[in-house]
Structures are given as structure tokens and as C-alpha cells.
Amino acid sequence: MEAPCPDKIWQDAGGAFAIGYVLMGVVNIGLGFKRSPPNKRVLYTFALLRKKSPKFGGNFAIWGSLFSGFDCTLSYIRKTEDTVNPIAAGALTGGILAARSGWKHSVQAAAFGGIFIGIIEAFQHMMQKRMQAQQEEMTQQHLEERKRYEEERKQREGERKKLNENGKSKKNKQQQNGENDLD
């Protein structure tokens, strides 16, 4: 279940910060070991981590909070939760973040943001359909197994009843034969 919009904005900003921080940390570890002098690799790597990772995480947090804010605003205005909202939010976020570079760059960033989020939404929709098909298949298999189990159980109960009836009739015959022998 998704959080309400104000909480969602904070959660997405924090999650985006963590993603950016970790991603830049991995990149800086690689760059630190590659570019540093052999005797100061660890110090150089940690200096890069302290210097660049928080900035990159902050940039991701700004992107995440803008995106979530636009997504929530569009959901409120349109009164719907569909794939158009995130795509438009991605385009608006890209355009706003590139606004200082001029109209041309802003439009390009908006187009890229919308297309990028559109690809993510398409992939998410495809995976959701696949999971739904698997769930339906598993449910159908479960129902078939349950039906087979019920049929087998009824068959076993029928066999037990027959055996009990046969056993009772044999006992009755033996008892009758025993009474006849006594006479």
C-alpha cells in the first residue's frame, strides 16, 4: 500500500538520497583505486567518498522529491492514479531541473525524463501482467489439486464404507452360523 502524498514525497526523497549515495560510493571506490597513487589508495578513496557521495545523494533526493511532488499534484488534479501521472511528472521534473540551461536543454531534459519514466512504467506494467498470469495459473493448479484431493477422499471414504459393510455382513453371517451351530 502506498503512503499518502506528503509521506510519499519524504519517503521518495530519502530513498533517492540513499540510492544516489550508494551509487556514487560504488563509483568513487572504483575511481579512487584507479586514479590514486599506489601508496595512498585507501586515503584517496575515502576522501572521494566523503566529498562526492553526499552531493550526488542530495541531487538524487532533489529529483525524487520533485518527481513525487509532481506525481502527487497530478494525481490530485486529475483524480486518477494511472501511468500518465508518473510520465508527466518525469517530464516536468526533467524540464524544471534543466531550466537554468535554457529552453532547448529544458525541453530535451523534459522529453528524456518523460521517455525514461515511460520505459520504466512499461516495464513495470509488463512485469505486473506476467506476475498476474503466474498467480492465475497457480490458483488454477491449486483448485485442480484441491478438486483431485476431494475426489480421492470421497473415493477412499466410499471404499471404507464398503469394507465396513462387508465386514459387518460377514460378522452377521458368522454370528448367524454360530447360533445355528449351537441349535
Could you tell me the CA-to-CA distances from 66 to 3, 70, 73, 119 in Å, in that order?
Answer: 16, 6, 10, 19
Given this model, what pLDDT does residue 165 score? Answer: 77
Range of the domain at 41: 5-139
Distance CA 25, CA 81 (A): 35
pTM of model > 0.75 = no
In the predicted model, is pLDDT for residue 12 greater than 70?
yes
| Residue 167 belongs to some domain of the structure | no
Neighbouring residues of 6: CB distance < 8 A, sequence distance ≥ 6: 72
Provide the number of structural domains found in the chain: 1
| Residue 134 belongs to some domain of the structure | yes
| Residue 69 belongs to some domain of the structure | yes
Distance CA 127, CA 129 (A): 5
| Residue 72 belongs to some domain of the structure | yes
| Residue 104 belongs to some domain of the structure | yes
Distance CA 45, CA 132 (A): 45
- Start-to-end CA span in the chain (Å): 83
Distance CA 15, CA 10 (A): 9
Q: Note the pLDDT tens digit of each residue in 98-128.
A: 999 999 999 999 999 999 999 999 999 999 9
| Residue 101 belongs to some domain of the structure | yes
Given this model, what pLDDT does residue 177 score? Answer: 66
Cell triple for 162: 464398503
71 and 94 Cβ atoms separated by less than 8 Å: no
| Residue 88 belongs to some domain of the structure | yes
113 and 91 Cβ atoms separated by less than 8 Å: yes
Q: Note the pLDDT tens digit of each residue in 24-57.
A: 999 988 888 888 888 888 888 888 888 888 999 9
Given this model, what pLDDT does residue 152 score? Answer: 92
Q: Note the pLDDT tens digit of each residue in 126-180.
A: 999 999 999 999 999 999 999 999 999 999 888 888 877 776 666 666 666 666 5
| Residue 24 belongs to some domain of the structure | yes
Given this model, what pLDDT does residue 35 score? Answer: 85
